A = this chain, B = another copy of it.
Amino acid sequence: MKFKNYSLIIILLVCLNFISCNEQTANTNKTEQVVVGSEHPKLILTKTGVDNIRKLLGTIPIFDASLQVTKEEVDAEIALGIDIPIPKDFSGGYTHEKHKSNFLILQKAGVLYQILDDEKYAKFVKDMLMQYEAIYKSLPVHPQTRSYARGKLFWQCLNDSNWLVYVSQAYDCIYNYLSKEERDLLENNLFRPFADYISIENPQFYNRVHNHSTWGNSAVGMIALVMDDDDLLQRALYGIKDVGLDPEAKDNDGGFIKDKDGRAGFLANLEEPFSPDGYYTEGPYYQRYAMYPFLIFAEALHNVKPELKIFEHKNGVLLKAVDALLQLSDADGDFFPLNDGQKGMSYFTSAMVSTVNIGYYFGSQNPGLLSIAKKQGQVMLDDSGLAVAIGIKEGKAKPFEKKSVNLTDGPDGKQGGVGVLRHQGLEVVFKYAAQGLSHGHYDKLSFSLYENGDEVIQDYGLARFVNIEQKGGGNYLKENTTWAKQTIAHNTLTLNATSHFEGKYEIGSKHHSNLYFFNFDNPKIQIASAKENNAYPGTEMHRTMAIIKDDNFEKPFVLDIMKIQSNTNNQYDMPYYFLGQVIETNFKYNVTSTLNALGIKNGYQHLYVEGVGQAPEENTKFLWLDKGRFYSLTSVSTPSDELFFTRIGANDPEFNLRREAALMTRRKNTKNTIFVSVIEPHGSYSPVSELALNSKSNIAALKIVLDTEDYTALTITDVKDNTKLFVISNTNASKEAKHTLKINEKNYSWTGSYYYK
């Protein structure tokens, strides 16, 4: 750590010391008001739970295995010795990673002390805590200045809060091992100042409705429960009262700091971002991150303050959230990268072990969760993990049922949502949600398509290499704003080369799409439909997506209808970000030996144009191959449609973006219009057998046979000349409504919002 300006540092240190001393006095007063809980552990581990675990040791395989792994890891760390470096690095750097590994190890060592009753673990925890105690009060704010809320051990309060969530558990485990004097030392010089720093001293971090604050609230709440400090607990549950936050202030991600209703604290964070269905408005990547502090603090509250009935709060939303989150993962368990989501994050991450365990134990013992726990191969070393391990041992595990789901967004479930259509290995993720706070993307009515856990039509996800120091300190890259959040980066419609809501968070966060209907009744037709009226004022977009299993087709196919009504003439860009290799098109296109960007802003500056063609009469057909499977896109087109092969990567001076492709249809100078496509997965190719099976599209013609305000009807004719008719009622979504419609001189009658035959 290099100090370039000693005098400034000294002034800072003096100031901090002054603040800390004041805090200490206040804290001392507080401790006098409360009675220290007599029984420890009580937070996550409980006295009864530990007794139970000790009795069953050596008899429950997955529990024993998890214990053994933990023991080996902690023993190795004990052998290495303790290091508490002076904080200086961003994530990815040594001091960051060391303090991170320290809090993880402390929590584990505490648990081992309880379960194995071996003092060496308690001593290790005590020794390390004492070393933190020795430096904490004299630590300046972290030298890296990027964060809107800098921590002390880490560059942001968020990571300091992570530390306290874990270390509270370690402290609880060795509470009775310590003398009163030792506890006072730790509480006065480490835990209370720590809790105050991340809350009172950083209200812009702590007093929000945001996943950052959830960590802060839980951290303060967990240490409050261990210390039996009710003031702190109130601060955790309800936030800091009367903090004058600037309503216009934003965090590093561009999100508003002050909640519009001025709410704060753990309970507000539980109510606001979760919909009644358990969907977390930022999306599954952030939900996965938030689940640990939500559930671990909930478990602690349940253990120490059962009267709060935290798991019943808001109709049991925390437990619903466990199921919702798992439904938002693909067949391999990878979370769909909605909004800012890093691809590859999955239910194999350690936070999901506790999520699954707590979800099982405090929920309805869903045997599907046991099968996920089996795949995870480890359990928590507490009552919930023991229950899971016993369930698995008793053979209760059943496959976790992934099915089509429609998850509402918004605290009341009235701000759009996310639909996941599923059938025979296909998954369509259809997003018509609210903005998703500061991590939201401008992609109303966008979708992505998966087959057997592989992306077929991809959502780009975030532009960030989380924790890779060389890539902008492991933080969000500027291309996250200039590319990943922009509308054109998504499989949805961009008007006039401008993102939804002009790409402005202030506007986007006021609006959401609306569900039109979803219907999963017929297993062979999984369908969802939604409308968006605010992304482009004066334009209504209505998208319907369906997975249809027709016996004349080898596999289910995806039907995609985007109907637009607009007051003005617009340019419509409709991309499909396919992964894989172009195999065949039915249209001619030109490639040039020089590549230029598609535009200069709103994400268009990041797309190279690799080829340009004119659409054929009637249908554009495009066939590609990825991971040994063929896919055909058949779109209704007119010869005035332009077709662009684009590739991501223009104006990307640090190679932050992946060079991936799209086929984009551009329709210019048009008011009302409609885009209709079918995506067919078919056949296979193996480089081992070198057999190309069923490598051709099964569709001979896709035709719009009627398109009025009230109805859209289209026919799909296969290569054997079977024709099916699909009709959607555009203005009456009722399941019970009866419709009669004349198409090509023939009358059709049906009940419900759509017809397929």
Interface residues of A (CB under 8 A from B): 92, 97, 342-346, 348-350, 465-471, 474, 581-584, 591, 593-597, 605, 608, 610-611, 623, 625, 645, 647, 649-655, 658-659, 661, 685-692, 695-696
- A408, B584: Cα distance in complex, Å: 42
- A474, B581: Cα distance in complex, Å: 14
**A652: chain B residues within 8 A (beta carbon):** 591
- A724, B337: Cα distance in complex, Å: 46
Q: Give 23 A-B contacts (CB < 8 Å), ordered by A residue.
A: A92-B692, A97-B691, A344-B687, A345-B687, A345-B688, A345-B690, A348-B688, A465-B583, A465-B625, A468-B695, A470-B623, A470-B695, A471-B583, A471-B584, A474-B692, A581-B658, A591-B651, A591-B652, A594-B594, A594-B595, A594-B597, A611-B655, A645-B655
**A350: chain B residues within 8 A (beta carbon):** 689
- A685, B692: Cα distance in complex, Å: 35
Q: A92-B692, A655-B582 are in contact. Are A685 and B468 (CB under 8 A)?
A: yes
**A690: chain B residues within 8 A (beta carbon):** 342, 345, 349, 466-467
- A712, B623: Cα distance in complex, Å: 53
**A625: chain B residues within 8 A (beta carbon):** 465, 468
In the assembled complex, the CB of A757 is this many whole angstroms from the nearest CB of chain B, namely 30
**A687: chain B residues within 8 A (beta carbon):** 342-345, 466
Contact B470 A583 (CB under 8 A): yes
**A695: chain B residues within 8 A (beta carbon):** 92, 468-470
**A692: chain B residues within 8 A (beta carbon):** 92, 467-469, 474
Contact A349 B688 (CB under 8 A): yes
In the assembled complex, the CB of A329 is this many whole angstroms from the nearest CB of chain B, namely 12
In the assembled complex, the CB of A753 is this many whole angstroms from the nearest CB of chain B, namely 38
Q: A658-B581, A688-B349 are in contact. Are A650 and B593 (CB under 8 A)?
A: yes
Closest 4 CB pairs of A and B: A344-B687, A582-B655, A595-B595, A470-B584
- A689, B466: Cα distance in complex, Å: 10
**A661: chain B residues within 8 A (beta carbon):** 659
- A625, B659: Cα distance in complex, Å: 15
In the assembled complex, the CB of A696 is this many whole angstroms from the nearest CB of chain B, namely 8
- A581, B687: Cα distance in complex, Å: 25
**A467: chain B residues within 8 A (beta carbon):** 690-692
In the assembled complex, the CB of A507 is this many whole angstroms from the nearest CB of chain B, namely 29
Give the nearest-CB partner of A630 in chain B. Answer: B468
**A345: chain B residues within 8 A (beta carbon):** 687-688, 690
